[in-house]
Every structure is written in C-alpha cells, then in structure tokens.
Chain A
Amino acid sequence: MDADSDVALDILITNVVCVFRTRCHLNLRKIALEGTNVIYKRDVGKVLMKLRKPRITATIWSSGKVICTGATSEEEAKCGARRLARSLQKLGFQVIFTDFKVVNVLAVCNMPFEIRLPEFTKNNRPHASYEPELHPAVCYRIKSLRATLQIFSTGSITVTGPNVKAVASAVEQIYPFVFESRK
C-alpha cells in the first residue's frame, strides 16, 4: 500500500557513465593539437574531450579506450559516444565503435518526508551502514542489483547502479523501508 505513492516520486538521472573501445591506437598528441575543447594531460597519459551538444566529457586513452561521463540519459550517452567516435574518425584514425556499455548511472530522488537514520540502520542491519563521524548519510547496498543508495535525513536519496532499470527498482525496493522509519 505504501508502494503506490512511489509512482509520484520523480527520479532524476544526473549522470550516466559509459565506455567504448575504438579498437585502434590513438595518437593523443594529434588529438590534442587538432581538436577543439580538449585538455591534454600528459602526465597521466589521457586526453579530455568535451562535447557541447550532449554535454559530455570523454576521457580518451592512447590504447583506444574511451570513457564518457556527464550524459543525462542512456540514449544521450550513446549518441554522445558515437559523436565522439565520429570526430575521432575525422581526425584520421581508423575508429571502430565497439563494446559500448553503460557502466554507471547516478540518480537523485526526493522523499516527501524526513527519515530517522539511526532507526533505519537498526532495522536494516546488514545492508545499511551509518557512520555519522564519517558521512552524514546512511549507505545502503543492494547486492542483487549491485546498487548503492545514500539516504540522507532530509529524505533525499542518491542512487548509483549499473543501469537505469536497476536504479528504478532500487528506489522501489527501498521505499517501504524508508517509509517505516520516516519521521
């Protein structure tokens, strides 16, 4: 019965991280010289390239592995990744767009009530861990979904998981527990 109201909860996806491979060696120096919006970090050996249209920051290594962060949805992430690959192609590298995978999704959700954290921790012993000396939120891990939720006393919850579905189901799962320990 409490799960009904979670339909009204809006889960806002703030970040989607994805990776892909270009299957070819990339010359970072060339990218750095000829690309706009790139930052060359020579000491760690990577190039940061920022796109504007889907707001994305990509970290490019010379081995051809690319990590894309900053997208707000999975489709956007894919689009941005492809754009990036296309621009690398234009720079002259034989790029093949392979192994695209969404690795992490970060979402924020707000409960309309506050939460009693010590009580919540007690009721959810193995999964929840609360160290007020270290961090103000309770860290709740769902192993089956491989998702982690950070629950604050104001009712705001930050969820990270491998994909959007996992995040959504994590919120659904946590709702009854959080509702129990509400203020």
Chain B
Amino acid sequence: MPGGRVCAACGCSEIEVDAARGDAVCTGCGSVLEDNIIVSEVQFVENSGGGSSAVGQFVSLDGAGKTPTLGGGFHANLGKESRAQTLQNGKRQIHHLGNQLQLNQHCLDTAFNFFKMAVSKHLTRGRKMTHVIAACLYLVCRTEGTPHMLLDLSDLLQVNVYVLGKTFLLLARELCINAPAIDPCLYIPRFAHMLEFGDKNHEVSMTALRLLQRMKRDWMHTGRRPSGLCGAALLVAARMHDFRRTVKEVIRVVKVCESTLRKRLTEFEDTPTSQLTIDEFMKIDLEEECDPPSFTAGQKKLKIQQLEKALSKKLEDFEGEISSYQDEIEIELENSRPKAKGVFANFTKDDSMEDNTSSIAGEEEAEDEELEAAANHLNKDFYNELQEKGAVKKNEDGECKNGNEALIRPPALESLLGPLPTAASLGITESIKECISTKDREPGENTGDGELDLSGIDDSEIDRYILNETEAQIKAELWMKENADYLKEQKEKEARIAKEKELGIYKEHKPKKSAKKREPIQASTAGEAIEKMLEQKKISSKINYNVLRDLNSKGSNTPKKEDDSTDDSTNTKKLSRRKSIASRNIANPVNSVGKRLRPLISTQLAKKAAIEEVTFPNAQAEASDLEKPAAVLVESGPVAYNPDEEMEEEEVEEDDDHCMSALQLMGGNDYGCDVDDDDGY
C-alpha cells in the first residue's frame, strides 16, 4: 500500500500500520482503518521436537499447482501435471542410480538440473527415460571428473554401451555442454583400489601414473579405450612392485578383453622405454616420442604392399621372358615338325582351337590359367621329347595323345556345364558371355547420357540378366530350400489364424491403447459419480441419448426380448439388447450371444459391484483387454454377487433409470471404440 493514505474520519495522514496485529490505525483520531491485513511475513511454528520451522508450502514455478487435497492424496502423483510428474520421476531415478554409483549430493543435483534442461528441450520424447537419466549422470561424471565409466552405467542398467553413448552424445550436443576428454589417469586410483595392493597402493598407483604418462607421450593413448591403457599400466606397475596380478584379475577389474590387454603390452614393449630397468624408468624420462602404434602398423603394411608390388613386377618380367622363350621354341618346333596327315590333322587343328575354347568356355580364370599352364607344360615336355628323340612316329603318337587329351578336356567341361543345374553353372554361362561380349562393349557403355532409352545400355547384355524358364524353375527351387524356415513360419501363422477364425476366437491384434489414468472421482452418491464420470469420459457422438433414455425406461419394465441376431448395425438396438440381457439373470453368463457380449456383461458386473461399494471403478476396467473382464467374470461373478444382483437389479434400474442408460453407455462405450472403428472401416 502506498504511504500516503489519509484517514477517512479526521483527514490525518499519519497512519500507523502494525504488522504483527495486522492493523492500520490512525494516530490522530484512533480509528481503525484496516483490520487483518494480509501480511507477507514468514511465520514460525513450533515443532514437536521443540524447534521451530517456517510455515508454508513450496509451490512449483511451472506447475499449474492444484492445491493438494485436504484429505491427503492416495499417492504422490495425484493431481499434478505431467511435467511435474516426469521431473519427480526423473529425480527419483537419478537418486536411485546415483546412490548405486556412490555419487555425492552435489553431483545428483547437477544431474537433476541437466535432466530438467533435457525435459524442457523435449529430449526425453521417444527415448527411454532410463537412457536419458544415465546420460545425465554420465555427463555429470565427466564434468566433475569422477572415475566412472560409461561401462559402469551400462552394467547397472544392462543396456548396450553404444546405445547409451549415443544418447549421451546427443545430450551433450543439445545442451551445448562440453564434456572434457577423459583422462586415463583418473581411473588409476579406482582400479588400484580394486586390485587390493594393500599398503603399497599409493606407490603402485604412482608408478602406474608414470607409465601412463609415458604411454601418452608415446602416442599409445589416442583412439584407445582409457580403461585398456590403465589395465596395462597397472599390470606392469604391479609386477614392478612384486605383486603377482594375473591378466585375468586385471581384466575383471578393468573390463577389457584379454587380447586388448596383451596388445597394449606388446605395443608398450615396442617403445624404447620398455628397455629401461625399473630404477632407470623411475628416474629418467626418455626424450624422443614414438609414433602411434596404428601408424607404425600402417607403415608396415604399406611397406609390405610395396614389396609385393616389386616382387610381382619382377615375376611378371620373368614370366614375360619365359613366355617369349616358349613362343620362340614353339615357332621353331612348328617349323621343324613334319605335317601330320590324315586323321591326325583334325586333331592338331582341334588341339589349337580347343585350347582357345577351353580358355573362353572354361571355368573361371584361375582354372583357365591352370589348364593353359598344364597344356603348355605337357606340350613343352612333349616338344622336349620330340627334340630329344626326333622321331616322326613319336610325333604322330604324341599329337594323337595330345589331341585326345585336348578332346577329353572340353567334353569334361561340357559335362560340367550340362547336367548340373546349380548356381555354379549359371555363373559360368554368365562369365562366358561376359568374356565374349564385354570386350566389344567397353567403348560403348561409358557414354551414358540422356534418357533411359537404351543409350549406352546394350540390350543383349541385359538379356543375360534374365533367366530362361528352366533356370527360373531351378532358382525357385533353390530359394525355397534356403528360405524353408521362414516359409514354414508363415504357413504356421496362417494356419493358426485360420483355425482361430473357425473357432471364432480370432482377434485382430490392434496396437494396445494405453490406459488413460484418471483421477478418482469423489462423489457422495452413485448417481453423482456416474454423472461426473460421464462428463469426463468422452461418450460417442453417434448415439442419440434422448432416444436411448426413452428406450431404456421402456426396456426396464417390459420383458426382456432376446435378440439373438448378431446385428450390430445400430447402436441403440445393441444397447437395448445388452440391457435386456444384463437385466436378465446373470447367473447364466454363458449365453450363445457371442463373444462381445460376454465381456460386456462382465464389465457391467464389475461396474455394478463397484456402484454398490460407492467407489468408482478404476479406469483400468474400462480400457483393459477384453480378456481381462472375462477373468473377472469367472472369479467374482455369479458366486458372490448373483443373488444381490438379481434383487437389486430392478431397484437399480428403476432408481437409476437415466443412470442405467449411462452405465450402458459406458459399457457400450467399451465397444463404442470398436463399433466406431468398425463403422469406419
């Protein structure tokens, strides 16, 4: 209030405000201007222990803040907004995880702040809450420099490390937080402790630290898991101080693979530092730095490749020489060889030709070369023999043999190609054609411009890609064989569905709609409760309620007509039928009315039972599976409630005339969704 107030009675402007009593009094005439002023002071109340605490409540800044119920809520998540619930849930999980990791309170609070930021940026959408929480915690660990690894978190949560890592990277990027790079030195104390070095723990740690620094300078640490390096360093340090720690023990602590550890050790061995003795190592630091091991490995590879290239070049040279010698020899021999006559002439011709064909129509190139080499070899030997012996007869025999052998080879090939209808043969035919045709085609293909129509694409080549009928059949068989498992599964599935359809149990598995949690309605009477529930629940707009009510009011008095026809065309008809059946003896639940009504009856039952107890059924009963109410039916149906139900049915109906209709609407609404869906189809 502004200071310049004037007393209404005397016009005096000296007004005294007493905050304690909450009065505003005029000092001139003494009239009380204000009484019970609202004060904004902090008040204290005495505790049971004798101390005093401030009076008041914390109200969240972002929540809409419905006042907590005076009667005390059922559980903490009552009446709060989704955002507040999420945050509270997150906080709880953070604390739970953080305690397992032994993080202090400050870290947990920071993690919660990160989480709040993440939620406000909608990063929790579409991600598992546990992943986001783990990422927040790990972020804190990084920024604080605690010796926690991502592996620890993944161990606790049983989640793949890389999945967590992905979430973590995303979080760090979105929140623009730069996580400082992890230093393997941070892990040493933790692992050393776990390896139980006793009194010498500190010394071993220091040695390991020195080793690590040496490793860093030797470029072993870039791109490597810090834990692996630590493991290697600790192992060596332990040995240096006469502790026997096997590789297995170290692995269990450090969580890397044995081969990784060994590799690190060998890499370290390669550095010059490894040559120093223990004392020297502690005192001296070598000046030079090494290259990273992967770099040296790369260099080695390069060298080997170069050597190979040089070797192959030399080989080629040699081969070239040899082949030139061969050619010369052959030419000379041909000249010197007397021409074969008669039958053998064919053979000689065939020989040369078939060599060619075997190379084209033959197997893949390796075999090709082998054949040629074999042929050449045989020929060579042959010609050597010829040279030595120089007899014509031998020539003829030789050529005959040669020709025979050459003949033998191609037929063998064809037998290979012919009857075996395997992929190999198809592949072969392909390679044959390709070998023949590609040489022609090479210049044409590369000029591919313009539209699709055939520029640069040769049709015949593409024709190769299409199998003829027999080949197609063969291939189909092969595919069937290979994918037999999958096909079997499909068949079984179909058989199952067909069976279920016959039995009438077939349900289409629609994606489960999650139950909406609603506040429990507080009402004094059942009627009020139903009214409130109606307001909340979205009733279908396709129902004409007035007609319904009329129907129901009539229906309750008239005898129950049974409509066995399963005609679901109009909702009203259905509802009246339901009502009639419902008001009939529920002791016979097993009617031949079809599956849909059975659950209806049970839900109605459940609801009736609930009404009697005046506590409203939970939303779960409404939205749960159709099967669940069936179970309810079995358990609680006829046994307990039947007699009561029967008696009270009529009363209930008459009393809650309009409520019955609402009830049915509700019950109907369970199908309301389905029915609407059906109509939609």
Contacts and interface: CB of A to CB of B under 8 A. Distances in A.
B479 A32 contact: yes
Contacts of B585: none
13 contacts: A32-B479, A36-B426, A42-B483, A82-B456, A83-B457, A86-B457, A114-B292, A117-B222, A118-B181, A126-B176, A133-B226, A134-B150, A154-B294
Interface in B573-604: none
Given A82-B452, A82-B456, A133-B149, A35 B465 contact: yes
B307 interface: no
A116 interface: yes
A149 to B, nearest CB: 15
Contacts of B464: 36
Nearest to A155: B295
A133 B457 contact: no
Contacts of B151: 133
Contact of A40 (B173, B294, B471, B479): B479
A183 B291 CA distance: 9
Contacts of A14: none
A117 B224 CA distance: 11
Given A33-B475, A154-B292, A114 B434 contact: no
Contacts of B467: 33-36
Contact of B462 (A86, A122, A156): A86
A49 B291 CA distance: 44
A79 B292 contact: no
B58 interface: no
Given A42-B483, A133-B225, 15 more contacts: A83-B462, A87-B465, A87-B466, A89-B452, A114-B291, A125-B178, A129-B173, A132-B222, A132-B225, A133-B149, A133-B150, A133-B151, A134-B165, A134-B169, A153-B223
Contacts of B630: none
Interface of B: 149-151, 161-162, 165, 168-169, 172-173, 176, 178, 181-182, 219, 222-227, 291-292, 294-295, 298, 426, 430, 434, 438, 445-446, 448, 451-452, 454, 456-457, 459, 461-467, 471-472, 475-476, 479, 483, 486
Contacts of B452: 82, 85-86, 89, 95-97
A130 B181 contact: yes
For the residues of B in contact with A, the DSSP-based class is: helix
A153 B222 contact: yes
Interface residues of A, number: 48
A36 B448 contact: no
A59 interface: no
Contacts of A17: none
Interface string A31-51: 011111100101100000001
Given A33-B475, A121-B181, A154-B292, A129 B466 contact: no
A137 interface: yes
A33 B476 contact: yes
A91 interface: yes
B181 A122 contact: yes
A34 B467 CA distance: 5
For the residues of A in contact with B, the DSSP-based class is: loop
B434 A75 contact: no
A114 B165 CA distance: 26
A91 B463 CA distance: 9
A140 interface: no
A97 B448 CA distance: 14
A90 B468 CA distance: 13
Nearest to B184: A132
A71 to B, nearest CB: 12
A34 B178 contact: no
A130 B142 CA distance: 13
Contacts of B445: 53, 79
Contacts of A91: 466
A159 B270 CA distance: 32
A95 B454 CA distance: 13
A155 B463 CA distance: 46
B675 to A, nearest CB: 33
Contact of A75 (B165, B448, B454, B462): B448
A176 interface: no
B294 to A, nearest CB: 5
A153 B173 contact: no
Given A32-B479, A136-B224, A78 B448 contact: yes
Given A36-B467, A90-B466, A122-B181, A131 B176 contact: no
A153 B296 CA distance: 12
A118 B222 contact: yes
Contacts of B173: 126, 129
Nearest to A127: B173
Interface in A88-147: 89-91, 95-97, 114, 116-118, 121-122, 125-126, 129-134, 136-137
